[in-house]
């Protein structure tokens, strides 16, 4: 089976996310990296490309060039966009125009209007479009989704999702921290914690339950003096069908490097998962004992990339999304339907939904927590 | 030191809470049980009293008699009221009139007007008045409170408290379960989950932080068809000084026998505790490693009843409240100020506050979650 | 039902274990404390008795007097012996002679010869005899035992038990710590960690599995310079029927206030428990998902003193042993067989077995770990 | 920086470990796969190579050819050997002869004589030699090692390491499970659990403490009837300098997919780690509160490949070993000393030591657990 040809926008030398994406792609055994606009700095773009073994003529310094020339030579099968948020929209638009499949980091864009425009452009392009909500690649979250879908916890009553982090507990953006700088700059990141981690949390709530969150009542705070974006959000949610939810995201939660966790309570059972124990899922059935479900063991529905007992970490989760995209690309090429689980790859609609969540949370926060349609 | 004489209203043979109260009192080494209105059924009252070694003439069948006659004979130093909620108010009123000190189960009363009336009566009585929010007796929650008060986590930003239970996940009240029957009967319990466990959760939020919750925006649900009281509540809180909060209580949370947990985030650190690990407290200071604090070890401020390594459970926590009350009684008798930590015993104001919380949550819930003053 | 009359040897004012025993007895609702030799210091004995509400003529200053005079007046139904180890044997002997039932702290005696002599004396006395291996009162350890007995994990292959503590990690006995002084004094404690916590660990291994440990290969160490007793022991065990075991006890394990834990692996499943999560038991059946079993919930076999969701701590576990003893006493009085679970109260044979374990471990340690019969 | 050229022996299509090795290599950004003897089946070798993008002339069907021809063309910088155990020795020998650097799966060989012979061969070859004890790539185990070396827990007293698994709890080798077949075939795997997971556990004990285990007293069992290799081993260890140890490995431990864990107790503190919480390390200093150390946070010494909050799983740990090897190769090429942490890559001496452990354990087991020199 011919390997798919991968290109990358962003992710030059020293960028962790670029390296993680390349490892994830490699882990699937389905992609070869062949082109890149790895940096807007020509020297860094060239050096990064050389170090990665790219042909010099496929080391671009801007994504528009790359999209045009790769399309012209029947080049890459997929482009991964791993730039800061504000560049997602223009980069994605270029590759949509070129008819090249896209895997784009989240949040989809910095603002909702951009996202909606991009969604329209995508509707008119033949390109497949995936969004790397990486957590959707954890086997045990897919297991949770499958269990909810199979009715194992009955009708959902409550969803609780939290994503606390500590890294912006003080004014890190004033101390030269580059990540902190662009992520707290409204021009580059859109919203603050809402865009950066809120979109992850919100996606998970809908991904696991299969439900649509219809309304939000949010309290949007900025606790660090001088910060220009939100850094702590508490919210109630209402879901279609009557389930209720609570959401907490924070980037000022001291003691948490990554506290992502979700639990879902239904009328016949409950499920809970946290990234700190990513390889297990807890399941409590009505009137019975709680189960601890180990990844890839004892009747799990999800067939992942890894055997039981080998910890699935960040890169392995991301690899799952690359595998889904490979399957989608190959299925289309071969004129067949993709395997069902490949459709769990978050798509552009999920990306847009993240921006709708951000916008609704901000509006609710600005109106004293009024219930606001998402 | 003469032991204090204890009386009890409710708690006849077979009642777990009565036995737990007696064990807790015994553990302090400060009380002897000498009188009781242990049941309204004369035979059960007499048999229970005999089995507990009470003199027959001090086995009463109603609390009014007991209050009057014990006061007349200079009898008991303290009465413990462990009846269903709707009897708290009349029983407490009888002992207030008699000038006898009171330790009353929570919620203080079934309704806010009753609570306010009782508070007025207490203000005109010489009786000391404690309310058994039992969790306030866990050493590590007192440690948490002391640490917040000492500034170890700085200014509080966020408080999160949850109290999920599973025991009413189905219509247990329709199956002959006596506990379920009275606790879901508005006439006997007042509110449902709000009164039963919400008051615990709310008290803890204020107890640990030392802050006053000023407003609530609540979503009050009844998920089990036919149930006459609330069984699941999600709420945002605002505290004086700007801290924000989230609260979740549920009696339909399958998999949880008792999921009480709290975490508090400040601008210099955070604390978290759960009843499942009641003997440790987790403390994360800013820019430093998380600490796990073991009960009674390594510089803890709280001096409890038990040495390190011996698990403090429910009865040991309750014993702490009896110890506080013994200290308050003896201090008053001896004309001295009680030890400071004895004042951590929740009092009638805390009891009233619980009912204010219930009433504000219900009002907010009835107005689409409008922020409502507590 | 008349309450049983309890006496106590040791446990004067300020002694935690005495207070814990009294609270445990009270929790059962079956005992009234009426007599005591609470201290060998006459003044302290008298003051302690008065504070506990004992009649002055039943406050003794030595246990021999107490045994004789209580027997003469048809006094107490049970004596609890809560002295330092080296006094267990003479005190127990006095009450055996008087025909009074005994509940004795562990280790049964300081040395094996004493234990064997006591066992002989017990065989010739009508007294019932219990030994307070307190952990045997935790509901979930009884649940574990019942599950093994019912074949739920099949034939046992492996048993692992650990009991690490930190409190003697340095030479605490040289700093005026009274507990450390007598517990590291061979004349008062017999062995060191072997007697103090090793007997607990060894009892648990046999209690949960129902198997007899036949041989031990031990490494007995004293890590703290100048200490006169062992403070760290590692050992392999062999059980009748072919199961194997590992045991580690330590009083120099920094970071552990009480790390007691056991796991048992069979050919159809495994069980694990630790005192840090005393209210749950983990059960992994063959080819199926691990279960977390909550105390008193969802089909547990053990009916404890407490409802689900209320944490069973140290005193509640001890109360279970008092309840067992009450049942044994009443059954004998009434001429009926005691309830089966009351027989789980460790008896004198279990006490002797603890000393055999200590002696075998010391002999194995002295012969370079030779497999030694227990 | 030119990327290093990687070859692989074993790891054809469908082999998880081959894919994991390739992802790990990719994650470092330092290697490009250019050659392979991916299978001894010519068709599978060719197809696998094609799918991985190898040139047809560099898809070999035996490792001897590959070693010779790659050496001749100045081909690969490193070969990864990921075959079953019994092929490690001949494959490694071929590449040693060719002067090609080697990264070899563990155990180094199936038997100790093979290992010793290979060690001699390596001593006469210019090749660098690494052994993929993958756990040595977990950041927090490196942190633990660094902390012990820095004296943070003082002199080591006790080491405890366990590695339980469940996958051979029944006779899986009789049911067509390929992994089970070769791993329980003495001709292919050498020892059973000792070689497969015992070598991991033993390496970790020495790796973290920096101590040499001098003697072992082992009980070697085969619990599954008909099995030809050991499946459960319990052992005591003695370390140079006086520390003691306990080791348990099992492949019949129901409920454990991978229970690898280690704790080390010293006279000034203790450390504990388990693969289930691979991204944290627990550290308890003497007379102070336990710390939970998060990967890549708050003063950790180890600089890993990944930022804080992103879970390091199996592939990320393996990537660390590839990074170490890249650094060693480049340092030699550039005539400089490698960065110190690159030397943490386990080498051939560690591989030999694993076989010595296996052999000593078997000898001790065969002599009733006699203390046996390792």
| A259, part of any domain | yes
Q: How many CB pairs under 8 A join A and C?
A: 32
Tokens 């699935």 belong to residue = A312
pLDDT tens digits for range C242-273: 999 999 999 999 999 999 999 999 999 999 99
Residues B69 and B147 in one domain: no
Q: Given the DSSP bridges, would you call strands A261-266 and A269-274 parallel, antiparallel or unpaired?
A: antiparallel
Averaged confidence pLDDT in chain A:
95
Among A271, A281, A290, A308, the residue to mutate for chain C (most C Cβ within 10 A):
A290
- Among partner residues D16, D24, D296, which is closest to A306 by beta-carbon distance? D16
User: D223–C266: do the CB atoms touch at under 8 Å?
Assistant: no
Residue C160 has a pLDDT of 98
Q: Which residue of D has its CA nearest to A20?
A: D27
Residues A119 and A162 in one domain: no
Average pLDDT over residues C309-317: 94
Residues A223 and A120 in one domain: no
Residue C355 has a pLDDT of 96
Interchain CB contact of C149 with D (< 8 Å): no
User: D288–B298: do the CB atoms touch at under 8 Å?
Assistant: yes
| A14, part of any domain | yes
Residues A147 and A122 in one domain: no
CATH number of the domain bearing residue A77: 3.40.50.720
Interchain CB contact of C152 with A (< 8 Å): no
Residues B16 and B142 in one domain: no
Statement: residue A350 has pLDDT above 90:
yes
Among B290, B295, B301, the residue to mutate for chain D (most D Cβ within 10 A):
B290
Interchain CB contact of B298 with C (< 8 Å): no
Residue D201 has a pLDDT of 98
pLDDT tens digits for range C15-40: 788 999 999 998 998 998 999 999 98
User: Residue C168 in 3-state DSSP?
Assistant: coil
Q: Of the ranges A39-48, B350-359, C232-241, which one carries the lowest mean pLDDT score?
A: A39-48
Average pLDDT over residues C346-373: 97
User: C282–D255: do the CB atoms touch at under 8 Å?
Assistant: yes
| B321, part of any domain | no
CATH number of the domain bearing residue B254: 3.30.360.10
Residues D179 and D102 in one domain: no
Residues D250 and D358 in one domain: yes
pTM, two decimals, is 0.96
User: C289–A287: do the CB atoms touch at under 8 Å?
Assistant: no
Average pLDDT over residues A271-295: 97
Among D140, D289, D291, D309, the residue to mutate for chain B (most B Cβ within 10 A):
D289
Q: Which residues contact C177 (CB under 8 A, 6 or more apart)?
A: none
Contacts of A299 in chain C (CB under 8 A): 289
Domain edge (last residue) among B101, B127, B153: B127
Average pLDDT over residues B71-84: 94
C33: tokens are 């404390």
Interchain CB contact of A52 with D (< 8 Å): yes
Residues A214 and A361 in one domain: yes
User: B308–C51: do the CB atoms touch at under 8 Å?
Assistant: no
User: D368–C371: do the CB atoms touch at under 8 Å?
Assistant: yes
Statement: residue C99 has pLDDT above 90:
yes
| C267, part of any domain | yes
Interchain CB contact of C294 with A (< 8 Å): yes
Nearest to C122 by CA among C157, C87, C95: C95
Q: How many CB pairs under 8 A join B and C?
A: 126
Interchain CB contact of C265 with D (< 8 Å): yes
- The model's confidence at residue C302, banded by pLDDT at 50, 70 and 90, is very high
How close C219 comes to chain D (CA, Å)? 8
User: A265–B250: do the CB atoms touch at under 8 Å?
Assistant: yes
pLDDT tens digits for range A19-69: 999 999 989 989 989 999 999 899 999 999 988 889 999 999 999 999 999
pLDDT tens digits for range B172-191: 999 988 888 888 888 877 77
Residues of A numbered 202-261 whose beta carbons fall under 8 angstroms of chain D's beta carbons: which are they?
A: 257-258
User: D255–C221: do the CB atoms touch at under 8 Å?
Assistant: no
Statement: residue A109 has pLDDT above 70:
yes
Averaged confidence pLDDT in chain C:
95
Residue B1 has a pLDDT of 61
Statement: residue D53 has pLDDT above 90:
no
Domain edge (last residue) among D88, D104, D127: D127
DSSP symbol at C313: -
Residues A218 and A122 in one domain: no
Asked if B77 and B5 touch (Cβ cutoff 8 Å), the reply is: yes
User: Residue B33 in 3-state DSSP?
Assistant: strand
Paired strand residues for A360: none
What ipTM did this prediction achieve? 0.94
Residues D142 and D77 in one domain: no
Residues C69 and C120 in one domain: yes
What is the span of the domain harbouring residue D100? 4-127
- State the Cα–Cα distance between residues B26 and B11, nearest whole angstrom: 15
- State the Cα–Cα distance between residues B165 and B184, nearest whole angstrom: 14
Residue D340 has a pLDDT of 94
| A70, part of any domain | yes
Residue A1 has a pLDDT of 61
User: D298–B288: do the CB atoms touch at under 8 Å?
Assistant: yes
Residues B74 and B188 in one domain: no
Residues of A numbered 340-359 whose beta carbons fall under 8 angstroms of chain C's beta carbons: which are they?
A: none
| A87, part of any domain | yes
Q: How many domains does chain A have?
A: 2
pLDDT tens digits for range B105-129: 999 998 999 999 999 999 999 999 9
- State the Cα–Cα distance between residues D250 and D233, nearest whole angstrom: 6
Contacts of A290 in chain C (CB under 8 A): 291-292, 294
Statement: residue B9 has pLDDT above 80:
yes
| B58, part of any domain | yes
Averaged confidence pLDDT in chain D:
95
Average pLDDT over residues A86-101: 96
Residue D1 has a pLDDT of 61
Dump the DSSP string for B155-205: SEEEEEEEEE--TTSS-GGGTT-HHHHHHT-HHHHSSSHIIIIIHHHHHHH
- State the Cα–Cα distance between residues A207 and C247, nearest whole angstrom: 46
User: C292–A289: do the CB atoms touch at under 8 Å?
Assistant: yes
| B48, part of any domain | yes
Tokens 């300081």 belong to residue = C110
Looking at mean pLDDT, say which of B83-87, B155-159, D28-32 comes out highest.
B155-159
Among C281, C286, C290, C296, the residue to mutate for chain A (most A Cβ within 10 A):
C290
Domain edge (last residue) among B57, B92, B127: B127
User: A19–D307: do the CB atoms touch at under 8 Å?
Assistant: no
Average pLDDT over residues D78-105: 96
Identify the H or E element spanning C328.
Answer: helix C314-334
């Amino acid at each position: 089976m011919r390997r798919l040809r991968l290109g990358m926008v962003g992710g030059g030398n020293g960028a962790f996310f670029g390296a993680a994406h390349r490892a994830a792609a490699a882990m699937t055994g389905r992609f070869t990296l062949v082109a890149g606009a790895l940096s807007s700095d020509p020297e860094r773009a060239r050096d990064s490309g050389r170090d990665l073994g790219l042909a010099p003529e496929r080391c671009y310094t801007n994504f528009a060039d790359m999209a045009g020339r790769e399309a012209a030579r029947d080049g890459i099968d997929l482009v991964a966009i791993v730039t800061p948020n504000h560049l997602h929209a223009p980069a994605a638009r270029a590759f949509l125009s070129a008819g090249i499949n896209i895997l784009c980091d989240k949040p989809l864009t910095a603002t909702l209007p951009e996202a909606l425009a991009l969604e329209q452009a995508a509707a008119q392009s033949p390109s497949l479009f995936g969004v790397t909500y990486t957590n959707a690649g954890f086997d045990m979250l897919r297991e949770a989704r499958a269990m909810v879908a199979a009715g194992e916890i009955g009708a959902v009553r409550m969803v609780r999702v939290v994503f606390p982090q500590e890294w912006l507990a003080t004014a890190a953006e004033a101390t030269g921290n580059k990540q902190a700088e662009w992520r707290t700059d409204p021009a580059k990141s859109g919203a603050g914690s809402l865009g950066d981690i809120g979109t992850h949390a919100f996606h998970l709530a809908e991904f696991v339950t299969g439900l649509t969150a219809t309304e939000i009542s949010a309290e949007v705070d900025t606790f660090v003096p001088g910060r220009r974006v939100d850094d702590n959000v508490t919210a109630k949610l209402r879901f279609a069908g009557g389930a209720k939810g609570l959401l907490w995201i924070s980037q000022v939660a001291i003691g948490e490097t990554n506290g992502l966790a979700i639990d879902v309570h239904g009328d016949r059972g409950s499920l809970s998962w946290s990234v700190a124990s990513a390889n297990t899922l807890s399941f409590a059935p009505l009137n019975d004992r709680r189960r601890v479900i180990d990844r890839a063991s004892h009747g799990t529905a999800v067939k992942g990339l890894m055997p039981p007992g080998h910890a699935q970490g960040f890169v392995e989760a991301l690899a799952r999304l690359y595998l889904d995209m490979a399957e989608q690309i190959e299925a289309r090429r071969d004129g067949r339907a993709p395997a069902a689980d490949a459709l769990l790859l978050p798509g552009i609609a999920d990306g847009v939904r993240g921006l709708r969540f951000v916008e609704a949370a901000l509006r609710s926060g600005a109106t004293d927590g009024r219930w606001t349609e998402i």
